[in-house]
Chain A
Amino acid sequence: MIGPEAPTVARTAPDPSAPAIELQEVSKHYPGSPPVVALDRVSVRIDRGEMVAVVGQSGSGKSTMLHVMGTLDGPTSGTVLIEGIDTSVLSDDRLAAIRGRRVGFVFQRFFLLAGVAVIDNVANGLLYTGATRPQRREAAAAVLERVGLGDRIWHRPNELSGGETQRVAVARALVHEPAFVLADEPTGNLDSASSASIMDLFMSLHDEGRTIVVITHNEDIAATLPRRLQILDGRLHDDVRASAN
């Protein structure tokens, strides 16, 4: 099951041979009475190009783990390595740059700006990369084409169906060509047909070689993915790789 893996040595420059994401003994506590242990000494290593499902009950710590993997939040203890770089030594600016250039987040709630055209919602994914407005729009139009919304770019989010809205959010997460896509229950608000089309999209990203982590409640979806991490009460309970079938 959980074989002890040799910890990678921390670096400050990306190492092409290092795993995409590695958590070493990562814990996350939230202060309060009683304090919440959202993550409890989790060690996991995700290689480049892997596609991983994260499953577990509500409140087990899945979102917390995803946020920590994407440098949105730091661990209380333990080490988070992104492409071999120890994130604990990085400044807010450097962490933000990692999120802006290497990571694409997708959330259950889509977090689109109401009243802003689809193309500009997607272009916003490049807002903090230094790209000019025409460059951002061009990239946004291209990625919207790719997710099948080429004819919807001037619509407002409230004019789209739930599945289409999530595809806009996925496009926003892809517009800067991220190495990792971290998705937190991306199909949680969608019907099964829309869910399937979003998962197809993630599969094709996986085929392109991107590293993908998807939190899901849906056992059927989890079962189709090559690797499955099960979280239970903040601990990594199970790590299953599907045998080739």
Chain B
Amino acid sequence: MSELVRVALGALAARKLRSFLSALGIAIGIASLVSVLGLSDSSKSALLDQIGALGTNLLTVEAGTGFGAGDSALPETAVASASRVATVEATAAVYSVDAAVYRNDLVPEDQTGGIRVIGTDPGLLETLNGGMAHGSFLTEGTRQYPVAVVGSVAAERLGIRDLDPAVMLHIGGRWVEVLGVLEPFALAAELDRAVLIGDLAAEAYFDAELAPTVVYVRVDERYIDETRDVLAGTIDPENPEEVEISRPSDLLEAQSAAESSFTGLFLGLGAVALLVGGIGVANVMVIGVIERRSEIGLRRAIGATRAHIRRQFLIEALTLASLGGTAGVLLGVAVTYVYATAQAWRVIIPPVALVGGLSAAVAIGVVAGLYPAIRAARVSPTEALRSA
């Protein structure tokens, strides 16, 4: 066996460029298959992580944005109504506050950095499974004072790295101390871009109306659908159709499904690349049979059977495809690693991609090598050896 592989490697080395190019075709095909599978698994796991962090029992309640929807705020009683539903475990509401945020009072008025001010209650952090990067969240004790907690993106835009020394922000013409900086929320990007202040403070200092824009509701896992069905009517008995309830984990699952269908598309493209690579190998082998007629004749003269010749060419194609396949797997792993790392995903390379990639290469080698090998075995030694 090792003997046959050595002979094959020798023959391939004698035609380096051509062997390299045809192995490259296989390598690209395998690399794209491996990286598509690897990236799809890595991104899926990132989504699953997100779903896990978010929890599947979170519902968001918003005022409908449909026809006839007025100022897109919920009734002021929304939180209280939602809390009365027996299967609701926790609630938190956010309110829009009409004020601009600046790092200090010297920043020109139009440079708001796209940062909104949002009022909320102390339950938000727990309800959304959020985390603090620095400092602490609003509490029952601080919700009525002019203090703020900054979302992760907002902190970046405002240039807040830590809270030592203490940071003050200029909000709506008033100095406000920053108590904490949030970690990114799963699927609540609007909060990441916001500065949060206590709902009571919002009302007292910034004239905010306490009609929630969004109410987040944690529900008993076992009764999610039932709760969802009664919430709208509970919150706004007069216009239940103007209350919109969604389940963020559904969005992530839909996203995951959408990515799966993309995966199918890319797998198809990878398969096409592999097919082209296989044709390249077959082509190189067929040309080899034509060019190497005298070598075939000589081998027959020194005792090779037809089976020997067939095997030689088959092993050559297999070796070529396996080398390409191995390079492709390595390349695919590297691409997955680099891209997934750049996306801050966990790198996941499914074993089926590795095994499947190599097996596909071997299978291509056999298919691409079979016909040329059979032709090589059929070369008439006497014709091949006739003096030209």
Contact = CB atoms under 8 A, between A and B. Distances in A.
A128 B10 contact: no
A92 B306 contact: yes
A64 B380 CA distance: 13
A128 B382 contact: no
Q: Which are the 8 A-B pairs with shortest beta-carbon distances? A: A100-B303, A128-B303, A96-B305, A111-B298, A73-B382, A105-B301, A67-B382, A99-B303
Size class of B's contact patch? Answer: 20 to 34
By secondary structure, the B interface counts as: helix
Contacts of A172: 302
Nearest to B380: A73
Contacts of B388: 109
Given A67-B382, A109-B388, A116-B10, A93 B301 contact: no
A196 interface: no
Nearest to B303: A100
Interface in B1-50: 3, 7, 10, 13-14
A164 interface: no
B133 interface: no
Contact of A128 (B304, B380, B387): B304
Nearest to A95: B305
B300 interface: yes
Size class of A's contact patch? Answer: 20 to 34
Given A63-B387, A73-B382, A109-B387, A124 B302 contact: yes
B302 A100 contact: yes
B267 interface: no
Contact of B303 (A67, A101, A113, A188): A101
Interface in B299-355: 299-308
B4 to A, nearest CB: 10
A101 B304 CA distance: 11
A197 interface: no
A113 B11 CA distance: 10
Contacts of B299: 127-128
B53 interface: no
A184 interface: yes
Contacts of A184: 387
A2 interface: no
B222 interface: no
A97 B14 CA distance: 28
A116 B13 CA distance: 11
Interface in A96-110: 96-97, 99-101, 105, 107-109
A96 B14 CA distance: 26
A127 B312 CA distance: 12
A128 B3 contact: no
A133 interface: yes
B303 A72 contact: no
A20 B174 CA distance: 116
A170 to B, nearest CB: 13
A127 B303 contact: yes
Contact of B382 (A72, A101, A108): A72
Contact of B3 (A63, A97, A116, A133): A133
A111 B297 contact: yes
